[in-house]
Structure 1
């Protein structure tokens, strides 16, 4: 079966920058949540 090649339209510079900011912001938020959860786990262990 032949491969189907579909080109997607290029993103404008403005849209590319907005997407990049969004992705980086989401990664930062996820990292901060993970760090907060880890600190909470350590605090709970210390209380025992």
Structure 2
């Protein structure tokens, strides 16, 4: 297990930023019928 206390804070910020971007924009969810959150929002607005 990595110890974040010894890692530079900039690296931690970059990892966190990448995770939040993936979670909000690229992850696929069965709950949204296989769409990413962005695709689901666009689909919901188009209806």
Report the TM range for the smaller structure's normalisation: 0.3 to 0.5
Select the structure of larger CA radius of gyration. 1
Larger RCO: Structure 1 or Structure 2 (Cα < 8 Å, ≥ 6 residues apart)? 2
For normalisation by structure 1, the TM-score amounts to: 0.45
For normalisation by structure 2, the TM-score amounts to: 0.46
